[in-house]
Structure 1
Amino acid sequence: MLVAAAVFAVLQLANVTGRATPDTRNYVSYALGLSGADKRAAAAATIDHYCGSRASIAHRRQDVDVVRFHRPDPAPRVRAECREREWRKVEPRLRAGQTGGHTVPFTSERFMRIFEARPGYPLFLVPFVTVFGVTWGVWAAGVVVTVLGGVLVFLVLRTLAVPAPLAPAGQVLYYVLPCGATAMRPMTEGLLLALTLAAVWGCALVLRGRRERAGLALVGGSLLALFAVKHSQALFLGLCLAGAGAAIALRRRRRGRAAGRGVCAVAVTGLAAAAGTLLLARLLHYPSASESVQDLLTDHFARPDRERPWREFLQLQGRFWVEWLRRQLWEPLFVAALAAGVWGALRRPAFGGFLIAAAGTGFLTQAGHPDITIWGERLIVLAWLLPVLGVPLLLEGLVRSRVALPAQGHPDRVHSMR
């Protein structure tokens, strides 16, 4: 486990810069504000980091451009143009007094309210950017949260008592599949993955029946933390765990077995978390689902609000998933990985139900933002948890049979294994 984590961390030195996205500006400026920087200082540090990332990408692209690779380095020009462009947007807003909240006003106040409702990731960044500065701090935070996600995969599989080689194999899958690359981006996905895995680990502990209280505390604590990181994920995961728990209990009852106190407790915890999320979001005046739909359909409020947003949203949903499925069938790695993950998960029906529910939040997140320009791994990344944990479970029988075969001719060894 430690070797896999260390190797992954060292490999990330190849990309210390170049991962920033437009949303990164909001999270980094939020973190700098929490650490005590004023709006102008936070804006300067954030713009330097973001534009440095843009310049790094431009430099790398030109280095391998078959026509322009011999031309002068574009990084200084790209950095200067980026700074000028960002300050052109920020400076008038600062002068106009748009200094409320924690984020630097890179866009309209209406759009920035969405990020004001996500303090979890900025809080996570604060100690890193305080100690290491913005560039190395953001990188170090990405390494820590991604390594943590892999370690949680290892712990889930060990809790399920899978053969020893398969636990680090699942951890490595987490690092090499899109989970690892996406978690390293300076956005919320790394924490969403880690906290969702923590909740899945809690479900595994409950099902093992040895540490039910610890497992339930882990599920509840993860859902509470998810509210701070991105409250929609807390809502989705709570509902999905509640539904999975109810389905597992019903299945057991139909087979003449007890529903299981732990399974019911997880279901109740998930339902309570979903209800609490809705209530708290309303009390804190967080942006509503309607506001999120308007954000999507108006290109972050750059255009007038739509008169019939939900009707258009449903039309877009149908078209999006048709195109998404077409692209998946064109390059079916994701579909094949999901199928293998479901197959493996169903070998442990109770745990598999909770795993499929947790992974299903990736599809709900994507459905909440059906933008084909980012159809890839970022929004739907939580669905990759299904192959990450399901494939080792699928291989469990094969590994156990190979371990048992050499011992068949040696009664003493067979007895000791039992």
Structure 2
Amino acid sequence: MTVVGPFVKPRPPRFWVVVLAVVFALLQLANVTGRDTPDTKNYLSYALSLRGASKHEAAAATIDYACAGRASIARRNQSVNVVHFREPSPARRVAEECRRDQWGWVSKRLSAGQTAGHTVPFMPPRFMRIFEARPGYPVFLVPFITVLGVKWGLWTSSVLITVTGGVLAFLVLRTLRAPTIAALTGQALFYVLPCGTTAMRPMTEGLLLTLTLAALWGCALALEGRTRAATALVGGSLAALFAVKHSQALFLGLCLAGACAVLGIRRGGLRQPLRRLARPLREVGVVAACGVAVTLLAAKVLGYPSESESLQDLLTAHFSRPDRGRPWSDFLDLEVNFWVEWLRREFWQPFFPTALLAGAWGALRQRPAFGVFLVAGALTGVLNQAGHPDINIYGDRLIVLAWVLPVVGLPLLLEQVVRPRVRGLDTVPGPLRTHAGPNTAMDAGAGAGLDAGVAR
């Protein structure tokens, strides 16, 4: 706050957006290494190959990065071990063992002629084909690792992706005409909930979260009647998702097209402002449906691994065992077992389902039309998890997209608490309502400027 004469001038919203982003970035200096997963090696070696590195050079840089992270974790773990904390650091030993182990497998595969594609052969060829079909994230990494090197390039790119996701959460909420404090809460939630932690890992999930939020921002703009910007954001996000992970583009296209269909069916029962949005909703639905069709066609033309191949990868532990004779039957049995166990664990610590329910309630109660889109976006995380019913894959990263529901929905749930206190300070008016009490006339973004006769 700055004082101008007898008046207090509030900081502009962008100031606090930058403050939150900077604070988050500084906090991430606590863990510059040690965030990688086995998938990180595949993406990093792909990026190094695109930069012009040979297979051996890409393998050396990737293995050094992965083993340095493993050594760092071993050192930190020992420093707090109640028995061994006074002993010498195990970092050098762990790094050497890691390099010896990784080079043992890579050298054998390179000697056997497994040199096709962009990735280093850390795994069998059938498994590596899955990553060859995901060029988007490696392409994104290239300028960062070229300018800053592998360690700081990966860290900086992860910070940028995660910060952008938080800013997009803020923009979605402001487009929905939520108060500034609610929008900033959404940005902060993106950083502190598991979506922020997962986005900071050098994998595709950060880009998936950011691009999904970009598409949802387009949906919010569609409810404002801004058709051109909406279709550009939705179409661009689906195209980028295809490059990053084409199955996610398929899921998001299907879910957004379904959301448009639901809103189209319900349009006659909603109030006049939403009925006037038939054209924006129709065009977003068409773009989403076209995204689904193009994704299926392009994946077929480019020879991407099929769903059957992905199924065998899951059921054979990355092709380390013979193919299953009845993969779909085995998959369905595993699917049922997975969700029973998943629910058991979630009920034991029910923070995630509680956050999902609260977020859905906030979004569907305060902005019912956009709430349908938000639930559709979160559903892509559930579909992604359902396609990979593995209970042990680095926490809940496969279902992480479901966290967009509380990130946006919880601030909307809190909106009625904070709005009376900031009514005179916000530059954007609150959501439009009728005089009919608790019934929302329509989503705030859909109502502004479209129905001057609706009372505030």
2:128 aligned residue:
112
What pairs with 1:98-137 in structure 2 (closer than 5 Å)? 98-137=114-153
Deviation at 1:330, TM superposition (A): 0.4
Deviation at 1:147, TM superposition (A): 0.4
Secondary structure, in 3 states, of the residue corresponding to 2:155? helix
Consecutive unaligned residues in structure 1, runs of 5 or more: 407-417
Are 1:94 and 1:105, in contact at CA under 8 Å, matched by a contact in 2?
Answer: yes
In the alignment, the residues of structure 1 paired with residue 319 and residue 309 of structure 2 have an alpha-carbon distance, to the nearest angstrom, of 10
Which structure has more relative contact order (CA 8 Å, sep 6+)? It is 2
Are 1:324 and 1:375, in contact at CA under 8 Å, matched by a contact in 2?
Answer: no
In the alignment, the residues of structure 1 paired with residue 267 and residue 416 of structure 2 have an alpha-carbon distance, to the nearest angstrom, of 24
Matched, 1:187 2:206: no
Percent identity reads 66
Are 2:164 and 2:210, in contact at CA under 8 Å, matched by a contact in 1?
Answer: yes
2:236 aligned residue:
221
In the alignment, the residues of structure 2 paired with residue 156 and residue 255 of structure 1 have an alpha-carbon distance, to the nearest angstrom, of 22
Q: Say if 1:165 and 1:219 are closer, same or farther in 2 by CA, change over 3 A.
A: same
The equivalent position to 1:366 in structure 2, one of 385, 388, 393, is 385
Deviation at 1:404, TM superposition (A): 4.9
Are 1:63 and 1:69, in contact at CA under 8 Å, matched by a contact in 2?
Answer: yes
What pairs with 1:95-174 in structure 2 (closer than 5 Å)? 95-174=111-190
Deviation at 1:395, TM superposition (A): 1.2
Secondary structure, in 3 states, of the residue corresponding to 2:223? helix
The equivalent position to 1:247 in structure 2, one of 250, 262, 272, is 262
The equivalent position to 1:355 in structure 2, one of 359, 374, 396, is 374
2:317 aligned residue:
299
Consecutive unaligned residues in structure 2, runs of 5 or more: 1-16, 426-455
The equivalent position to 1:204 in structure 2, one of 220, 223, 228, is 220
Amino acid at match of 1:137: G
Matched, 1:315 2:333: yes
CA deviation vs aligned residue, 1:30-60 (integer Å, no higher than 9, x gap): 0000011111100000000011111111111
1:233 aligned residue:
248
Deviation at 1:375, TM superposition (A): 7.3
Matched, 1:33 2:49: yes
In the alignment, the residues of structure 2 paired with residue 376 and residue 212 of structure 1 have an alpha-carbon distance, to the nearest angstrom, of 38
Amino acid at match of 1:23: D
The equivalent position to 1:62 in structure 2, one of 59, 66, 78, is 78
Matched, 1:3 2:19: yes
Deviation at 1:83, TM superposition (A): 0.3
1:91 aligned residue:
107
Q: Say if 1:223 and 1:32 are closer, same or farther in 2 by CA, change over 3 A.
A: same
Deviation at 1:403, TM superposition (A): 3.6
CA deviation vs aligned residue, 1:155-195 (integer Å, no higher than 9, x gap): 11111111111111110000000011100000000000000
Amino acid at match of 2:308: S
RMSD: 1.4
CA deviation vs aligned residue, 1:11-44 (integer Å, no higher than 9, x gap): 0000000111111000000000001111110000
Deviation at 1:253, TM superposition (A): 2.3
TM-score (norm. length: structure 1): 0.95
Amino acid at match of 2:234: V
Matched, 1:175 2:191: yes
The equivalent position to 2:406 in structure 1, one of 387, 392, 406, is 387
Matched, 1:50 2:66: yes
2:437 aligned residue:
none
Deviation at 1:224, TM superposition (A): 0.3
Amino acid at match of 1:272: C
Are 2:256 and 2:373, in contact at CA under 8 Å, matched by a contact in 1?
Answer: yes
Secondary structure, in 3 states, of the residue corresponding to 2:414? helix
In the alignment, the residues of structure 1 paired with residue 410 and residue 393 of structure 2 have an alpha-carbon distance, to the nearest angstrom, of 26
Are 2:179 and 2:422, in contact at CA under 8 Å, matched by a contact in 1?
Answer: no
In the alignment, the residues of structure 2 paired with residue 180 and residue 118 of structure 1 have an alpha-carbon distance, to the nearest angstrom, of 22
Deviation at 1:264, TM superposition (A): 1.4
Amino acid at match of 1:243: G
1:333 aligned residue:
351
Are 1:238 and 1:274, in contact at CA under 8 Å, matched by a contact in 2?
Answer: yes
2:284 aligned residue:
266
Are 1:345 and 1:390, in contact at CA under 8 Å, matched by a contact in 2?
Answer: yes
2:12 aligned residue:
none
Deviation at 1:256, TM superposition (A): 7.7
1:80 aligned residue:
96
Matched, 1:344 2:362: yes
CA deviation vs aligned residue, 1:221-269 (integer Å, no higher than 9, x gap): 0000000000000000000000010001101124586361111111111
2:451 aligned residue:
none
Q: Say if 1:375 and 1:100 are closer, same or farther in 2 by CA, change over 3 A.
A: closer
Matched residues, number: 406
- Larger relative helix fraction: 1
CA deviation vs aligned residue, 1:81-111 (integer Å, no higher than 9, x gap): 0000010001121122211100001111110
Secondary structure, in 3 states, of the residue corresponding to 1:374? coil
Q: Say if 1:67 and 1:77 are closer, same or farther in 2 by CA, change over 3 A.
A: same
CA deviation vs aligned residue, 1:88-141 (integer Å, no higher than 9, x gap): 001121122211100001111110000000000000100000001101100111
Amino acid at match of 2:323: D
Amino acid at match of 1:264: R
Amino acid at match of 2:27: L
Q: Say if 1:405 and 1:256 are closer, same or farther in 2 by CA, change over 3 A.
A: closer
